[in-house]
Amino acid sequence: MSERKHQCIHCSVESCRHLKKEQGICSLESIQVAPTPMAYSGDPADESMCQSYHSK
């Protein structure tokens, strides 16, 4: 990925240390999204998760 664009990552996971709660955004420049073990179940909540998550 040679060209980077300004991106805003919206988030509401209050237990994550990267959350800027007042703005509702992630303080990281980028995140890694990965499939969950329950991927392909058809339920959106089971399909993916933020692998950049770190608890407070």
Indicate if the pLDDT at residue 3 is higher than 80: no
Distance CA 47, CA 30 (A): 19
pTM (two decimals): 0.72
- For 12-25, the pLDDT digits (tens) are 999 999 999 999 99
Distance CA 37, CA 34 (A): 10
Q: How much of the chain, in percent, has pLDDT values that exceed 90?
A: 61
Distance CA 30, CA 50 (A): 11
